[in-house]
Amino acid sequence: MNRNQVDLATTPVKKLFFTLSIPTITAQIVNMLYNLVDRMYISRIPDVGDIAFTGVSVCFPIIMFITAFTYLAASGGAPRAAIAQGRGNQAEAEQIMGNSFGLLLLFAAILTPILLFLTTPLLMAFGASDQTVGYGATYLSIYGLGTISVQLTLGLNTFITAQGFTRISMKTVLIGAILNIILDPIFIFALGLGVAGAALATILSQTVSALWVLRFLTGKQTKWHLRRSTMKLRKSVALPSLALGLSPFVMASTESLVAINFNTSLLRYGGDIAVGAYGSMASIMQMVMMPLQGLSQGAQPIASFNYGAKNPDRVRQSFYLLRKVSVIFSLTIWVLVMLFPEVFVGIFLTTDEMIAYGAWGIRIYLGVIGLMGLQIACQQTLMALGDAKTSLFLAALRKIILLIPLIYILPCFLADKDFAVLLAAPVADFLAFTTTFVVFHFRFKKLISPLEK
């Protein structure tokens, strides 16, 4: 066996979980730095930092929407490929990966011109003001040129992780993120490119990562090889992957819808200060979600492979361990945010007024974030087992069914409108958590029972 790969069938689950999770968590945290480092540097541009930060913050919901298509094309294919490998069918696994690659190319071809030609209307729809739209348009128009690199890097890297090559997948992200961190201050400050420099650094870094991924999946180390013969889209292969990918697609794309509604509502009640402060809150929420997703990605190959291999005990063990670690992590973050809100928002905000607003708001916005660990563990485990319908419902529940309506309903009943808008998040989180917990109990038992028989 390749020294970079782990044995998903026989290695003790606890050891396997941490062997897989540590690189995926590292990769998620480092990937998060692409966006966070850009924003931290931009907020410190002399004279215009806060306005530029607000303008670029409006871009990130749009970028999340672009990223959502990556999940649609690849995040459903990766667990299906792992399940096929667990059944001993490597040819099917390669076919699934090849079709996901074809979908990534198709989506990139559609999305790139949309970003390039509809930049300003998109930003205004997502909550930009006349004061901030120029900075957002500069960033987004350059970022759009790197859409294909983003799609290939994030999408194909999931197939590296699904094979058990978590060190390689971590290197994929590290290469791009470290390059981005190096290039950002050079382009933004040394060359005086400002916001344009931040965008240029990001797409160059993502392009290098994409080339790394392609080199690995066409090389000798990988178990699943990316072949031209598998890239032609077939309904029987692509549609089931798209169906399973709908869950992460909804989670990511609705993040954009949520941001539109938060931005426009807060702009109405609190102005650019409220929108900028919300940008810091959303960034911190991203800081919480990335490690949780890294834990889930570490557990996914274990659950998917052993589900395909009909080994229910190892599937259970992987879920119980994922649940335990995720809950400990989310509760720890909740305590820290409640005790030190100024420290967290101060990462992104520089003026006293925005820091004060952000510190007040984040305690509301992340009021029940401690429950998120269990919710993500349940939802992602169902996805790892191929339960597309339930995963999709749970993904849509929190944001579409609950959160977005609450953003508009609660201000009708509360005098403090800013408080009412932000309160929508913890109320939706609590209701979604309760529903997920109940649904998972019945679905998981139903999925595992046939393996025991």
pLDDT at res. 33: 66
Return the structure tokens found at 321.
């361990």
382 exposed, middle or buried (CB, 10 Å; 0-12, 13-18, 19+)? buried
Q: Are 114 and 94 in contact (CB under 8 A)?
A: no
pLDDT of residue 31: 63
Do 419 and 364 form a contact (C-beta atoms < 8 A)? yes
Q: What is the pLDDT of residue 192?
A: 87
Q: How many CB atoms lie within 10 A of CB 167?
A: 19
Residue 35: per-residue pLDDT:
63
Model pLDDT, residue 351: 80
pLDDT at 336: 95
User: Which regions in the chain score pLDDT beneath 50?
Assistant: none
**pLDDT for position 350:** 74
pLDDT for the residue 404: 93
| Crossing angle of the two packed helices 49-74 and 147-162, in degrees rounded to 10 | 50
Taking CA atoms, 8 is separated from 14, 298, 301, 379, 450, in Å, by 12, 11, 7, 21, 21
Distances (CA, A) of 99 to 7, 96, 151, 156, 241: 26, 5, 14, 11, 9
